[in-house]
Structure 1
Amino acid sequence: MFAYANVDALPIYEERNKKIVGKIDRNYLDKGVLSYAGVMGLQADTGLTASQYTWLGSIYYAGYIVAAPIHNRAFQAFAPSKWIAGCVIAWGTVLACMCACHNFMGLMVQRTFLGALEACINTGFSLITASWYRKYEHGSRTGMWSSCTGMATMIGGLIAFGCVDGQTKHDTAISSWKILALITGLVSIAYGICMWFFMAPSAVEARFFSEAEKMQAVKRLRDNHQGAGSRQYKRYQAIEAFLDIGTWMYVVFVLSSQIPAAGLVLLQSILIKNLGFTTKATLLLNIPQGFISTLCNLGFGILADWTKQRSGSAIAAGIFSLFWAALSIGLGNVAPFYKKYGQLVAYFFMSGSCSTVRFIVISMLSSNVLGTTKKTTLNSIVFVVLGAAYCIGPQTFRDPPYYAHANISPIALWTLPILVLSGFYMLNRWENNKRDKLQTERGGVQEKGTANIEFMDLTDKENKLFRYVR
């Protein structure tokens, strides 16, 4: 990296920059199976009670919590792209093994391993985004890869429908949910293998770049002042992560925003079916929700970069989800099935947008945290807390079939993230103004020894040339 950073590369004109970003985008290449399986006969085939089914959702994130710090340490020691690819291959293998599970205990073990392997995805993609893109490209690029969650929901709904329809017509001995697990597992293995061979570990190792483009790809990241990354564990950076007030603001944000979202993700198909739809109709009705999720993640991510207001875009996304949650509860309070289509539309928008605010905040982690050890430590804390939220979330859905108590939790909890995000905006603006004032007082001259500070592994507290994304 330093060899490419310290040479006098060609100036990066806008046309050349767009060409480089285009190449990076082309290189940037679930747990949803349980939600579909819930209406495809899983509970009946394995003798699950409603309580045991929700525990399958929670145990997934018990594995997630344990594995998240391990993955984050591995990302500092190994190339994140290779580690993620290996986990995707293993994840697909474990998912395919779901078809061999026939009771609650077997499913609990299988789900624990799935959660442990998935823990690498969001945090790994966050680190990859930071190492390839400029800070005001992070929001839209995070929106791009997070929008694939919605696409997976749409495609998964179609595959699940095909599995149910095929089993009904041909009366196969194997259950439709087992066919679904096998198909999606094998596809994940194939995709993981492709990631291993085609996803470049870094810009300087990218085979699709010429030597000149490698230098330009590194040079265009100078304004991030985020360094070239370090494989050395720095204890003082880990301590700084724990002492930073921003860390605990992220913790409050994740808990309050994701506990309701967790239950919606696990029970989305069951919630739709309980409005009075058939199994096949329910599976197809997951498609609009996936489409809305794709639009929200992509749209609000692009808005964040276009306006250069990451917190503002996240607040807008939070208010958007809160509105539809209130509408869904209002319609449901009149009568369980009152205007079920109105409830369905409100549910589509509520569940489709409920994770958008989290992904925008993940892009803030990519942009606003410097120092490799500090960033991986903060990621460990945030994603362990995310796992805890997703453990708790399904347990709030304990009053079937209408889940009246659980439907109130979004209103109670989704107000707090909006306040936290407002706090982030004010804190980051205050810190940037303080640094601007300090630099003006020093005549705009860089501090001694900071000519190449952007290629040092400093934290955001040490690097006074760095500015926070608001």
Structure 2
Amino acid sequence: MFAYASASPISIDEEMNKRLVRKIDWHILPWLCLLYVLQYLDKGVISYAGVMGIQTETGLSSSQFTWLGSIYYAGYIVAAPVHNRMFQAYPPSKWIACCVVAWGIVLSCMAACENFAGLMVQRTLLGALEASINCGFSLITAAWYRKYEHGTRTGIWSSCTGFANMIGGLIAFGCVSGQAKHPSALSSWKILSLITGLVSIIFGTCMWLFMAASAVEARFFTEDEKTLAVERLRDNHQGAGSTQYKRYQAKEALLDCRTWMYTVFVLSSQIPAAGLILLQSILIKSLGFTTKETLLLNIPQGFITILCNLSFGSLADITKQRSGSAIAAGVFSLFWAALYMGLGNVSPFYKKYGQLVAYFFMSGSCSTSWFVVISMMSSNVLGTTKKTTVNSVVFLILGVAYFVGPQTFRDAPYYAHAKTSLIVLWTVSILVLAAFYMLNRRENGQRDETQGERRDADERGTGNIEFMDLTDKENKLFRYVL
């Protein structure tokens, strides 16, 4: 990439910038969107299977079923640091493509599982492979887009979880209906795992062959456009990326209070979300709906997810207030959670459709604030080793949150205690986001006061500092995204 990095800034007019962004959007964003649909759908097969007969056929108790949700993230926890190290050694898109093919094979093997032990092994391996997605996507977004484009693009690919819910519900409904009309040796949930697994294998192969690994390797750019594509990222102060592991950057990441604030936020916001994702079909069915009705009712929930992630992601870039957008998303989820809990406390079936609507909005927006924070991490952590270290820590903790989450939903069938913990934890997550805003705003103010008005890089004698692999503490031109 250094061959395409100019020693001094190059002016890029707005028309050219829009042209470059359009090319990136057309050639990179679809891969991220489609893969996110696929990953969320593959991960959610167990949720659909929960109302398609897997518990009866494999002799699972309700406790064992929640362990299938948790054990997925045991594999995730172990593999997340490994993936992040591989992302520094190899292009993230190529490494992810290999993981997609491998998890497609593992998912297809779910059809051969006949008991709890077999399903536990299968889910552990699936979690280890799918751990590559979130941490890899944040790095890919940062490598292609300017910092104030991160929120919108993260909102776009994360909203695809909604499409996955809609598509998954329809596919699962088709499997149930088809199996009922034409009984076969394979159960409907086994057919579902085979379909999604084979699609993953095909997609991963295509991703390896056709997705550009970086701007300088993109065949859709001319040589001049490659230089401009690298140049437009200068203001990110993200550097060109380094394959060399730098111990001091890893130490800085571990000593930075923001790293641990991210972890507290992840735990408080995603422990409840993990339980909602695993048990989404079961929670809807507990309101008194049939299996087929439950599968179809995933569609409106998916639409709400799309709406929330796109809206709050775009709001973050438009207002340049990413913490504020995440706080707004958190408050939105908290309101609907309180309504869902309040109606359910009257009686399990009181205002059945009111509870259903509250559940749709609560569950549809439960991870929106987290996706906004992912875009904040993409913009606010500099230095390749520091970025991958922070990613390792945060996404490892995400695995812990998703491991613990299903275990908080153990008071079936109405989950009163789980609902209470959900309210408390989401309140904590909102307070952490407010602390993020105050900390970053204070740091930016101190940097402005110390440095005065910013001068051109040449006048300051800093040369090509933006393309060096510096951390946010070393690069004094850097300002945190609020």
Residue number among 192, 197, 200 corresponding to 2:209 in the alignment? 197
Shift of 1:7: 6.3
| 1:108 match: secondary structure | helix
Q: Is the 8 A contact 2:457 2:463 kept in 1?
A: no
Residue matched to 1:231 = 243
Shift of 1:11: 3.2
| 1:172 match: secondary structure | coil
Residue number among 61, 64, 76 corresponding to 1:49 in the alignment? 61
Residue matched to 2:280 = 268
Residue number among 85, 88, 91 corresponding to 1:76 in the alignment? 88
Residue matched to 1:86 = 98
Q: Within 2, Cα distance between the matches of 1:212 and 1:438?
A: 37
Confirm or deny that 1:32 pairs with 2:44. Answer: yes
Instruction: Work out the percentage of aligned pairs sharing the same amino acid.
Output: 77
Residue matched to 2:416 = 404
Q: Within 1, Cα distance between the matches of 2:454 and 2:148?
A: 27
Residue matched to 1:181 = 193
Residue number among 193, 197, 212 corresponding to 2:224 in the alignment? 212
| 2:51 match: secondary structure | coil
Q: Which moved more, 1:2-11 or 1:329-338?
A: 2-11
Confirm or deny that 1:240 pairs with 2:252. Answer: yes
Residue matched to 2:151 = 139
Residue number among 315, 322, 326 corresponding to 1:303 in the alignment? 315
Q: Is the 8 A contact 1:9 1:215 kept in 2?
A: no
Q: Within 1, Cα distance between the matches of 2:254 and 2:17?
A: 37
Q: Is the 8 A contact 2:10 2:231 kept in 1?
A: no
The TM-score with structure 1 as length reference comes to 0.98
Residue matched to 2:16 = 16
Q: Is the 8 A contact 2:8 2:464 kept in 1?
A: no
Residue matched to 2:38 = none
Shift of 1:451: 1.8
> Structure 1, residues 209-237: CA drift from partner, whole Å, max 9, x if none?
01111111111001111100000000000
Q: Which moved more, 1:47-56 or 1:292-301?
A: 292-301
> Structure 1, residues 138-163: CA drift from partner, whole Å, max 9, x if none?
00111111111111111010000000
Confirm or deny that 1:350 pairs with 2:359. Answer: no
1:367-406 equivalences in 2 (<5 Å)? 367-406=379-418
Residue matched to 1:101 = 113
Q: Is the 8 A contact 1:9 1:212 kept in 2?
A: no
| 1:18 match: secondary structure | helix
Q: Is the 8 A contact 2:163 2:306 kept in 1?
A: yes
Counterpart amino acid of residue 307 in structure 1:
T
Q: Is the 8 A contact 2:154 2:371 kept in 1?
A: yes
> Structure 1, residues 108-140: CA drift from partner, whole Å, max 9, x if none?
000000000011100000000001000000001
The TM-score with structure 2 as length reference comes to 0.96
Residue matched to 1:415 = 427
1:448-467 equivalences in 2 (<5 Å)? 449-467=461-479
Q: Is the 8 A contact 2:7 2:464 kept in 1?
A: no
Q: Within 2, Cα distance between the matches of 1:321 and 1:72?
A: 30
Q: Is the 8 A contact 1:9 1:216 kept in 2?
A: no
Structure 2 portions without partners, runs of 5+ = 32-41
Q: Within 2, Cα distance between the matches of 1:416 and 1:319?
A: 11
Shift of 1:441: 7.2
Q: Within 1, Cα distance between the matches of 2:460 and 2:94?
A: 38
Shift of 1:173: 2.0
Shift of 1:444: 7.6
Shift of 1:442: 8.3
Q: Is the 8 A contact 2:454 2:477 kept in 1?
A: no
> Structure 1, residues 23-53: CA drift from partner, whole Å, max 9, x if none?
1112221211010000000101100000000
Q: Is the 8 A contact 1:157 1:287 kept in 2?
A: yes
Q: Which moved more, 1:438-447 or 1:214-223?
A: 438-447
Confirm or deny that 1:148 pairs with 2:160. Answer: yes
> Structure 1, residues 238-275: CA drift from partner, whole Å, max 9, x if none?
01111001011101100111111000000000000111
Q: Is the 8 A contact 1:439 1:445 kept in 2?
A: no
Shift of 1:179: 0.4
| 1:414 match: secondary structure | helix
Structure 1 portions without partners, runs of 5+ = none
Q: Within 2, Cα distance between the matches of 1:375 and 1:366?
A: 8
Confirm or deny that 1:6 pairs with 2:18. Answer: no
Residue matched to 2:297 = 285
Q: Within 1, Cα distance between the matches of 2:434 and 2:462?
A: 32
Q: 1:441 to 1:35 in 2, by over 3 A?
A: closer
The aligned length equals 470
Residue number among 234, 256, 262 corresponding to 1:250 in the alignment? 262
Shift of 1:401: 1.0
Shift of 1:446: 7.1
Q: Is the 8 A contact 1:328 1:343 kept in 2?
A: yes
| 1:156 match: secondary structure | helix
Q: Which moved more, 1:446-455 or 1:237-246?
A: 446-455
Q: 1:179 to 1:343 in 2, by over 3 A?
A: same
Q: Is the 8 A contact 1:134 1:223 kept in 2?
A: yes
Counterpart amino acid of residue 399 in structure 1:
D
Residue matched to 2:79 = 67
Shift of 1:298: 1.2
